[in-house]
Structure 1
Amino acid sequence: MKKYVRRIVRSTVPVAAAFALLATGAVTAPLEAQAAPLGRVCMFEARRGAYGAGHAAFAIKVRGETNHWIYGSFGSTNDAPKAGWIKGGTWEKARGHFTAARDKDHDNARYYTRYRCVNTRDGDVKRAQSWYSAVKNRGYSVLTNNCLHMSMAAFKGYSEILRKNTRLESATNWTPNNYYRDVLPAARWEVSHSL
């Protein structure tokens, strides 16, 4: 009987140790059993755009994919970039696109100069694209349907969490520069990154 007791005690030690490692987080569940990857959105800002009011563009991570994003913007036909464009690619390609854009009104300097991002536990890129199309089809209006409205519509279409975040105020009555500077930090977006 003593032999059986020793075997049971010996076999329970590794099991107890495994539970202890799981409880402390030292070992994680298999990848397929873990929670779905976070969603992520970023607003790019061109501070000198729209005659000093600023210009906003968006980038949205496709959840469930390692490195695929959609990105775009919305502007009047006078502005660079032109009204309503959207692309897809890696984060490096999206960031490179915004880094390479030039400001023809200011000695061909870099147009977009910085960006802020935030993670979200949800994200539906198809819904974001649908909201993008709805805003684009309304046509550009400097006061009620501009680049900031477009970016916020894409973000809020993508994420119900962002849509319900009362700190993310309506884009109406905000310039892109002021929204980027005041509203996004108050809504706990990450610090600003330079391009």
Structure 2
Amino acid sequence: MKMYGRRMARVTAPVIGALALFASGAVTAPLEAQAAPAGRVCMFEAPDGAYGAGHAAFAIKAPEKTNHWIYGSFGSTNDAPVNGWINGGTWEKARGHFTSVRDKDHNNARYYTRYRCVNTRGGDIKRAQSWYTTVKNRGYNVATNNCLHMSMAVFKGYSETLRKDTRLKSATRWTPNDYYNEVLPAARWEASHSL
């Protein structure tokens, strides 16, 4: 009986200690046990676009809906019209659109070939759409108002978290390829997915 009591004390003490830490807030529940963020954004990228500088497009999830996305692009003759477009639908429809675009400059090969996503705390679709309109109305400019500027404006309009993230540098002086390969991973966006 004494042996059983000692074993029980050895097993019980760490459990009680862990519960005390958890109750005090020093330890939190595992990430997967916490509530999932309602917002999500994805940058779609065409690495061969713009003569090898790359081309960026956006997709943002409506946080109040299970599977509704707003997606679009700006400034690519492959993804007409060049002055920008925006659409809505399921994730499958958004991903299918980007998969179907062909590169007129490279033997009609697939234009968009990859994407990166990140979850956010909520999201404001109307504010994101407003930023899309603002950037579109400024007109395309390769140095100061291009596809990367458009995508980042939409993402930052959508999410206060992304707007305040200092790791997401200004789009100016970055090519879409460099931003996708360097800035997004440094800002802890997910690994690149192939289309």
Same fold (TM over 0.5): yes
Residues 60-99 of structure 1 show CA distances to partners (whole Å, capped at 9, x for unaligned) of: 00011000000000005xx221221000000000000000
What pairs up with 1:31-180 in 2 under 5 angstroms? 37-75=37-75, 79-81=77-79, 82-180=82-180
Residues 39-67 of structure 1 show CA distances to partners (whole Å, capped at 9, x for unaligned) of: 00000000000010000000000011000
Q: Is the 8 A contact 2:40 2:119 kept in 1?
A: yes
> What is the CA-CA distance between 1:37 and the residue it aligns to?
5.0
Normalising by structure 1, we get a TM-score of 0.80
Q: Any gaps of 5 or more consecutive residues in structure 2?
A: 1-22
Q: Is the 8 A contact 2:37 2:119 kept in 1?
A: no
> What is the CA-CA distance between 1:36 and the residue it aligns to?
7.9
> What is the CA-CA distance between 1:122 and the residue it aligns to?
2.1
What pairs up with 1:4-19 in 2 under 5 angstroms? none
Aligned-partner SS, 2:58: strand
Aligned-partner SS, 1:105: coil
Residues 141-187 of structure 1 show CA distances to partners (whole Å, capped at 9, x for unaligned) of: 00000000000000000001000000000000000000000000000
Q: Is the 8 A contact 2:59 2:71 kept in 1?
A: yes
Aligned-partner SS, 1:135: helix
Distance in 1 (CA, whole Å) between partners of 2:35 and 2:133 is 30
> What is the CA-CA distance between 1:113 and the residue it aligns to?
0.2
Q: Is the 8 A contact 2:37 2:120 kept in 1?
A: no
> What is the CA-CA distance between 1:35 and the residue it aligns to?
5.8
RMSD, aligned α-carbons: 1.7
Distance in 2 (CA, whole Å) between partners of 1:84 and 1:94 is 16
Normalising by structure 2, we get a TM-score of 0.80
Distance in 1 (CA, whole Å) between partners of 2:36 and 2:51 is 42
Distance in 1 (CA, whole Å) between partners of 2:37 and 2:161 is 15
Residue 5 of structure 2: aligned partner: none
Q: Is the 8 A contact 1:36 1:64 kept in 2?
A: no
Q: Is the 8 A contact 2:128 2:158 kept in 1?
A: yes
Percent of aligned pairs with the same amino acid: 80
Residues 12-47 of structure 1 show CA distances to partners (whole Å, capped at 9, x for unaligned) of: xxxxxxxxxxx998xxxxxxxx96852000000000
Matched letter for residue 106 of structure 1: H
Distance in 2 (CA, whole Å) between partners of 1:172 and 1:190 is 23
Q: Any gaps of 5 or more consecutive residues in structure 1?
A: 1-22, 26-33
Distance in 1 (CA, whole Å) between partners of 2:47 and 2:63 is 29
Number of matched pairs: 163
